[in-house]
Every structure is written in structure tokens, then in C-alpha cells.
Amino acid sequence: MRTLFLLLAALLAQRSHAFCGFYVARADATLFNDRSEVILVRDGQRTIVTMSNDFQGDVKDFAMVVPVPVVLRQQDIRIVDRSVFSMLDAYSSPRLVEYHDENPCHPPVLYEAEMDAVSSPMPTANASRMKAEAKELGVTIEAQYAVGEYDILILSATESTGLKQWLIQNGYRIPETAHEVLDPYIRSNLKFFVVKVDVSRLQLTGSNLLRPIQIRYDSHKFMLPIRLGMANSKGSQDMVVYAFTRTGRVECVNYRTVKVPTDRNIPLFVKQKFGPFYKDLFARAHRREGRNVVFLEYAWNVTPSFGGMKCDPCVGPPPMPREFAEAGVDWGGMNGGGGQVFFTRLHVRYGREKFPQDLVFQVTPNTEHFQARYVLTNPATGDLSCASGQDYLEDLYYRRHRELEELHALTGWDINKRQGYLKEISDQLPEERRNGLPGWAMPLEPHDGGDAGPSAPPSDRLIVLGTLLLLVLGLWRLRAANTAP
């Protein structure tokens, strides 16, 4: 009966958490050094891609080469405000949430209550020369534009070596091994969206930071080219994708989409080191899944007219119509026309060995809500000397034991040095109860629990072992009685 009561209490506590918790920290994209962020909007055959630029160094050396399925028109290219990435990242980031236990000796009395850039023609002084040089190398300049601080070319090519040579000759800093990656795109008859910075126009913006570029096109292909980004990379890179559709989640087709571990109860001391905690959690999950998966970190219906919460708990107000429009979400539902906006956050860590193909996506009808959240539960305060308070402290000891095991399973952190986290609770119990806590003074055995839930409390394990022992003893006595003369 006591076990059943504790189970019901735990379920009720989890249910109340959904309404009483508050956000205390988040693990945003800036935790990961070698990273990129992309906003993807998919509406029928139309794809809108917004690429953030966190380029470090002399902007004269900046170059971006992105395969695209069609020749983009100038009206298909625009500059957007950087703040849209910060807002989407903050709203959808994995989060740490905090709850507080109630004092069982003094239960509360319950009451019933109810930016577009100005575009200009591309300077044409060297246009003829550029086209002539390009033709000799098998490169065709399909279009050229000046958008904001960027000079943009749309290229096609017949072979990769010529394309690489032409780019280098015209001042584009690209990796030495770029031709190896360019060749498959050329064979697929893709075009190349090529960008570099005009320093004089950048100075007119009053900032040295490069603004995100947004492009849109129609194609039956819904994908992100990542192989070019690996051309000069010796290790792995992180990419966070903020995807929007009318219907449901975005998932990867050619690699598994896996939920990051979530809704785990972890020790209170993680509050001061949530960033390292999530980095280690993600790295461990990445290794466990074979280093070739795409992780889901957030999925929710965020339509402005959609009732109810859009996260639990939320880190701030949800994106509003103007911010959605900046991200490229421009369908009628944004103005109350009945459509919906479903927001998916994906996180992929990729390298050349495990990701030989570009990321191919699909829009699914799955509208299940999901978020990466990790739970801290503060113990009750005040006088706990009543019988219920003493029972609570004993249960709290076992809960903390499970939290430590969970921490090790998620991150691999050494929990043997955290015995004080248990002793802090056991010291509040009388000696007879403290002595009855099996294993409280013994080091916790590290284990690799993977994605499995926490193990049973030591007391439950002892009950099982004792029951088995009594069963064996009873069978032995029965056999002895039957064989007696």
C-alpha cells in the first residue's frame, strides 16, 4: 500500500509540475563553438532558407557558396534582422525548470480559481570580363545582384575544377578540397548561390556584423546542403535548424530523427552548470545513437491564435506575426485566417565520416508537442519533525539517489564524489531511520544507463531479494518434510 501511495504521489507531483514550474536557465545555440543556424520554411513546393552569418575575421575573406535547385531572381533574395535567430533560439532552447516541494507537516490551504535591405543593380564595370573568363572555365554567370552589403552571383558549371579555379581567380576564399564536394552538385545540375561582401556598402550599415541572408525558391526537393561546409573541416560541426510548416513536424528522411532525452529529474547542483550539463548530455546521446542522427529539441504549434501554452515553461512571449514574417512564414493563417504554424527545432552534429549525404527533410502530420526540459526539485523547508515529514525525508533520500544515477546516465559525470548530496538529507533523520537506509554510506556504482529510466530504490531491491530468500527457504523446508521418514 505504501508503494502504491508513493507512486500516486509521484504521479500527482509530476502533474502539478506542469503548472507550477518556472524557467531558470536555457542551453542556447551559443554553447556550441563550431556551429551554424538556419531557418527553414516549407509551404507546398516552396522553400525559404535563412542563413545566419557568425563569420569571424576580415569580411574581405568571407565567401558563401550554397547549391540551389533554380536560378534565383533578385526578389527571391533579401536581408533579414539578426534578432530573429536570437528570438527563435531563446524560445526553443533546451531548458532547466525548477519546482518546490510542499511541507507535508504544513499543507497549504487550497482555493478554487480559475527589415528589408535596399537592392541595387550589380556593378557592371567588370561584368563582361568576368563572363568571358567564366566561359573559358566552363562556368556560366546566370545572374548577378547587389543586395544590401552582399554581391551575389548565381552560377552554373560543367565541371568542378573549373568552377573552383574561377572562384579563386575572382577573390573567393574557398577550401582547397572544394572541387571534391562541388562535383556531385554539378552532376545533379544544381546552380550555385555565391556571396561575398562589399566592404564599402557594409560600412554604410553602421555595423561590422554580417546580416542573415534569406532566399526562396520552388522545388520538389526539401533539403539542406551540408557537404560544402565540411570541405575544410577536420572535425564535426553543429547545426541548429528552426523549421516551420503549416501541418506538423519536420523530420529528416535519410538520417534518423531522434528525440533528445527529456523530462529528467536531476540534482540541484546542476543549476550552476547547466551549460556544461547539456553539452555533455548531447555529446553522450550523439555517441549512443551512432553519431549519425538528427536530434529533435523542440516541436510545438505556435500559431498566434492557437490557445494554450506553447512551451512548459516558456522563457518569454512566443514569436509574433511580424517575427514570423521576418523568418519567412507568410501564409494567411498568421493574420487569423485559420492556418497554423508548427515550429520544429532540430540539432545535428555532422562530420564527413558519418554524414556522406546532404540532409533531406519531409513535412509530417505529426503535431505531438515536445521540448527538451530538465527538472530541479527543491526540498520542502521548515519543520519536518511530524511523521509525514519524516516519511518525506526518507523518500527524498531515495529521490536524490535516483537523481544522481540519472545524472550519470545522461552525462557520464562521476557521481561518487557527490555523497554529500545524500548525506545532507540522511543527517536530518533520527538514527534508527538513518541506519535503515541501505547503502547510504556506500559509493554509488557508476553505470551506463543510456536512455533507460532510473533504477529502483535500494529498499525495493532488498525487498525483492528478501522475498526470494524466504521463498527458497520455504521450498527447502517443504522438501525436507516430504522426505522425512
pLDDT at residue 238, as a whole number: 92
Residue 8 counted as domain residue? no
271 and 215, same structural domain? yes
CA distance linking residue 419 with residue 85, whole number of Å:
41
Residue 267 counted as domain residue? yes
pLDDT at residue 309, as a whole number: 58
CA distance linking residue 444 with residue 254, whole number of Å:
41
pLDDT at residue 121, as a whole number: 52
Task: Give the domain extent around 162.
Answer: 22-374
Domain final residue, candidates 351, 374, 397: 374
387 and 356, same structural domain? no
426 and 301, same structural domain? no
- 384: three-class secondary structure by DSSP: coil
How far from the centroid of its chain's Cα atoms is residue 302's Cα?
17
48 and 88, same structural domain? yes
422 and 370, same structural domain? no
**Hey, what amino acid is at 268?**
L
340 and 208, same structural domain? yes
CA distance linking residue 378 with residue 309, whole number of Å:
24
Residue 250 counted as domain residue? yes
- pTM of the predicted structure, to 2 decimals: 0.80
350 and 407, same structural domain? no
Residue 251 counted as domain residue? yes
Q: Which residue has the cell 555532422?
A: 350
201 and 64, same structural domain? yes
Residue 302 counted as domain residue? yes
pLDDT at residue 131, as a whole number: 80
Q: For each successive 10 residues of the chain (485 residues), what is the average pLDDT? A: 32 35 71 85 96 78 88 95 91 92 80 45 61 86 93 92 87 76 89 91 86 94 85 78 96 97 96 94 96 96 72 74 89 58 95 91 96 94 92 93 94 90 90 71 43 41 48 53 52
Tell me if 199 sits within 8 A of 207, measured CB to CB.
no
154 and 94, same structural domain? yes
Domain final residue, candidates 357, 374, 391: 374
Report the number of distinct structural domains present in the chain: 2
Tell me if 210 sits within 8 A of 62, measured CB to CB.
yes
290 and 393, same structural domain? no
Residue 16 counted as domain residue? no
76 and 44, same structural domain? yes
Pick from 408, 443, 406, 407: which is nearest to 422 by CA? 443
171 and 75, same structural domain? yes
Domain final residue, candidates 325, 357, 374: 374
Residue 36 counted as domain residue? yes
Residue 7 counted as domain residue? no
